[in-house]
Homo-oligomer: A and B are copies of this chain.
Amino acid sequence: MDVVKDLCLTPGLYGSEVVLMDTDEESLGSVKSMADTYAQAVGARIRFLKTTRLAEALKGADFVIDTALAGGHYEQEAVRDAGEKHGYYRGVEAVEFNMVSDYYTTFGAYHQLSLFRSLARAMEDYCPNAWLIDVANPECEAGTLLTRKSKVKVVGYCHGYKHYKDACGVLGLDVGEVDFQVAGFNHNIWLTRFEHDGRDAYPVLDEWIRRKAERHWSTHTPSDEFDIQMSRAAVDMYQLYGLFPIGDTVRGGSWKYHYDLKTKKHWYGKFGGPDSEIGFSRYLKRLRKRTDTVLALAGAPKSALLSEIPPVKSKEDIAPLIDSMVNGERRRFVLDVRNDGLIAGLPDDVAVEAPVWVDRKGIHREKIDRIPPRLFKLALVPRLVRLEFAMEAFLEGGRSVLLELLFRDPRTKSDEQANRVLDEILNLPFNRDVKKHYG
A residues apposed to B, CB below 8 Å: 96, 239-240, 254-256, 259, 263, 345, 347, 373-374, 377-378, 381-382, 384-385, 388-389, 391-392, 396, 400-401, 403-404, 407-415, 418
Contacts and interface: CB of A to CB of B under 8 A. Distances in A.
B407 A256 contact: yes
Given A385-B381, A408-B254, A415-B256, A345 B347 contact: yes
Given A256-B403, A259-B415, A410-B412, A377 B382 contact: no
A164 B287 CA distance: 58
A254 B345 CA distance: 25
B378 A381 contact: no
Nearest to A256: B407
B259 A404 contact: no
A400 to B, nearest CB: 5
A412 B263 CA distance: 14
B378 A388 contact: yes
B256 A404 contact: yes
Nearest to A376: B388
A71 B56 CA distance: 72
A381 B388 contact: yes
B407 A378 contact: no
Contact of A96 (B256, B374, B408, B413): B408
Contact of A382 (B240, B385, B396): B385
Contact of A255 (B240, B401, B408): B408
Q: Is the interface of A mostly helix, strand, loop or mixed?
A: helix
Contacts of A391: 377
Contacts of A254: 404, 407-408
A209 to B, nearest CB: 15
A388 B377 contact: yes
Nearest to A418: B256
Contacts of A411: 410
A223 B403 CA distance: 31
Contacts of A404: 240, 254, 256, 378
Contacts of A345: 347
B409 A392 contact: no
B263 A400 contact: no
B407 A408 contact: no
Given A255-B407, A256-B415, 11 more contacts: A255-B412, A259-B415, A374-B392, A377-B391, A378-B404, A381-B381, A381-B384, A382-B385, A407-B410, A408-B410, A410-B412
A149 to B, nearest CB: 14
Contacts of A377: 385, 388-389, 391-392
A346 to B, nearest CB: 10
Contacts of A403: 256
